[in-house]
Structure 1
């Protein structure tokens, strides 16, 4: 299957963090959040507790990973929907006084649910009603309406929150042309552990500005707004062998061309459980279809791309096309991107790897064999091509280190629905971990690397020593992990901003 498509803006968003435990009672926590603290609003406009009739619907509204929608998932003591920065500052004070951990939720796309779950008593700060709670897909129509010759290298997934996207690096269909979302951040507003607000990178220092763009900003404080640089844009049957060639072509071709490979198991017929794998090549080209055809005929003629396979459209409409591939309704109206409720919610678990050398035909065949052990629609592999502009940044330019030398990122995911039995869920998770083990000789090494925006608690959560934390920290950040720890020591020596895979605190590291 094949398919192709041929200034500055200030955006605000809040990220999540948690406070360390402190001997104190939780019973008076909600009493701390009293009406007189919230100027010009009533408590019920801001604070939702389990006795509030809207509590459950608000809690569930942006749990994007339905794994964490079960009755056994811990629920917050309260949900706070701040209207301005002062409400956030009040929440800091109350949470710290009563030793309640804070999780701040934006888009809710955290792979491990860290923005809305915790093993200890916690409160959620939810920005669903705040102007600063900006979804990436909601930002794109506004960009297009202001100027149809500019765009932003955002995500291909609908309703991703701007803050989480940027603070992990942020990849999308324009990254080979313009780099990551985080590569295009030029300034921020930031709130520290004391509730002090800093305007501009010069006020927080270059080390912290570096750490926030790709190093999980939630480890250091709260980014109140991001100032981003917009980029110019213009229009313009042998699956195993195809994928084998794709691995080098996609990373080395014209940087205006982004092609990802999507690989899923399918049943050949509904009657017979005879399986195969379906490979779809999905692309975006910044140029005209005729030029794309010349590139493909010269570099990848085996794919057999024709003019009829291509759809010429504006860049902003191409975002609808990519969103439709992941379950977002297809259509012509850009208003679809403004409706956050249309984004699909799933039960899922994901892992990522980086591939530096093409996986051999034999290696690919081993992957197909394992894919066919899964139910149709229950597993997916995505090959996200690197190269192009991504090769031009050094590994230490921002905390995101996965630059030159990578052919593609390999995403591995399993999915299920509400009717899936617990035993099948466990079987799917076991299968995913088995696939990850199989991939060991085929992916990056020393360290084996992963993408922090698909965080994976299987990699480890232990922070008893720098060496233990490095077992997962270097997989996300390589050598940048040490610098991130050093910034943490300077910015947050009390480790107030903490979660299971936040940047740890080791003051003795030199």
Structure 2
């Protein structure tokens, strides 16, 4: 059995990196894409080794660089015909057009962190190309307007580093995993520890430059408000390629406070702590965020780790916890004051001794097999229900159960202000995750996470049972564009309304506006009305 790191933060961040592909399709046709790239003077690409092209020497390295989820690393997983790494906006435009002219499906890779590999694997066995955005990663910060332009291939770490280089009084609300690509994160919403204060990443997007299926670059005014609405929270891989995003910076104090406290006790005692957390974390001062990570040891001991973040001083944080959640019994030395960017480093899961310079590294060395699912909770779960959940956690030392509180400003933002709909009434979000190693019984592992998910059914949001699109889960259903008898819009509703609730139909309208031929698609993509795939036209 593979050994796993016992730090729950590290554990979580191993899983927030995945990407993949390795492969073997019927032999790809290289000449059309090769000729087009040469004609457009695009030289930064690599072709599948069957092409015998000189660029193929770099193929396997570039393919595996962001391959984090080993579930998609098998020899039978289809490989891309080519991997293109554009260096400029013009090259990005021409890369899209060359794929279309060559009748190749397009996968856009930014950080490579789709849990289901949507930026890595094709639709069925369709030949495809990966356009890797890693070289389009520039960040331009303007403190006078309190904004930044962030190219679509930048990572969260690169964005945070650029902000910190300019000022210690500004930040940006987003996740804490530095190698996550901004485009995928923003496209799905973007949950982070400042979300209760400032909302999602997507709530703080002011503009974007989108390369549409025909190669036109559209700003907010040109794409129209419906498409711009859909870009923010409507899921990645649906609308085109975002060349760059304009984001609103937010104010942060000179010092913030963090804590990382692990509790181990009998399950009934731990259940009481989680039960109390449900009545505290979603209703605290919106500058406070407390997540819970639940993990287990091989001896079936269960551990609760409380991760706290507060936009303020240590003394203020201590007073709030003592008043509202004294049961945590946090020692004063466990409260740590630091700058905002240091707090991101503290929460990042990077190895001990890392510095903010490491934010610019795109490579994550720890790889595993990963499966995730998600839920939303609208009513506190009973102690009995939580006890059963903790007993499930105890059965699987490779599992992780993450609870992220909502409330704060999330209760004040309308569910249709952007495409992300999970707002007022949700008290927290659940991520179920399982990591396993080579040689472990995958079927048994998947059986555990499915049983856990089934167990939680009575306790979570229903009609529909909601899910977070950035924790994409193909178990909810996939679209089969090859079956012309299917009403794809209605079939996709089965999972589309779980991710987007009442916003699903509006997303279909936006898709029909920007991409009626469904050039940008994947197994859980938003379909346009009267679907026709681009290779049928």
TM (normalized to structure 2)? 0.84
After TM superposition, give the deviation of residue 29 of structure 1 in Å.
Answer: 2.9
Match of 2:381 among 355, 359, 384: 359
Q: 1:26, 1:99 within 8 Å by CA — same for their partners in 2?
A: no
Aligned to 1:447: 464
Q: Structure 1's 495 and 314: CA in aligned 2 closer, same or farther, altered over 3 A?
A: same
Given that 1:26 and 1:100 are in contact with CA atoms closer than 8 Å, whether structure 2 keeps it comes out as no
Query: Which residue number corresponds to residue 40 of structure 2?
Result: 37
Residues 26 and 2 (structure 1), Cα distance of their counterparts in 2 relative to 1, 3 Å cut: closer
RMSD of aligned Cα (Å): 2.1
Distance 2:107 2:8 in 1: 40
Question: How far off is 1:507 after superposition?
Answer: 4.6
1:313 aligns to 2:338 (yes or no): yes
Consecutive aligned runs of 4 or more in structure 1 exceeding 4 Å deviation: 1-4
The aligned residue for residue 242 of structure 1 is 273
Alpha-carbon offset, residue 488 of structure 1: 1.3
- 1:125 matched to 2:148? The reply is no
Q: Tell me how far apart the structure 2 counterparts of residues 494 and 467 of structure 1 sit (CA, whole Å).
A: 17
CA contact (8 A) 2:377 2:459 kept: yes
The separation in 1 between residues aligned to 2:215 and 2:33, in whole angstroms, is: 20
2:522 to 492, 499, 504: 499
List aligned pairs for 1:53-64, cutoff 5 A: 53-64=57-68
> Tell me, what secondary structure is at the counterpart of 1:209?
helix
1:490 equivalent among 513, 517, 523: 513
Q: Which residue of 1 aligns with 2:492?
A: 469
- CA shift for structure 1 position 34: 4.3
> C-alpha offsets along residues 2-31 of structure 1, whole Å, 9 cap, x if unaligned?
999xxxxxxxxxxx9xxxxxxxx9453333
1:34-433 matched pairs, under 5 angstroms? 34-38=37-41, 43=43, 45-50=44-49, 51=52, 52-118=56-122, 119=124, 120-131=126-137, 132=151, 133-199=153-219, 201-234=220-253, 235-236=255-256, 237=265, 238-267=269-298, 274-324=299-349, 328-331=350-353, 333-342=355-364, 344-374=366-396, 376=397, 378-418=398-438, 420-421=439-440, 424-433=441-450
Match of 1:22 in 2: none
- Aligned equivalents of 2:130 and 2:7: distance in 1? 42
Contact 2:45/2:82 (<8 A) preserved = no
Quick check: 255-264 or 130-139, which moved more?
130-139
CA displacement at 1:389 relative to structure 2? 1.2
8 A contact 2:476–2:495 mirrored in 1 = yes
* TM-score, normalised with respect to structure 1: 0.88
Aligned residues: 470
Cα 1:97–1:343 shift into 2, 3 Å? same
Q: In 2, distance between residues paired with 1:451 and 1:225?
A: 24
Aligned to 2:474: 457
How far the C-alpha of 1:332 sits from its partner, in A, is: 6.0
Q: 1:409 to 1:248 in 2, by over 3 A?
A: same
Counterpart CA distance in 2 for 1:245 and 1:361 is 9
Q: CA deviation at 1:489?
A: 1.7
Give the match's secondary structure for 2:401: strand
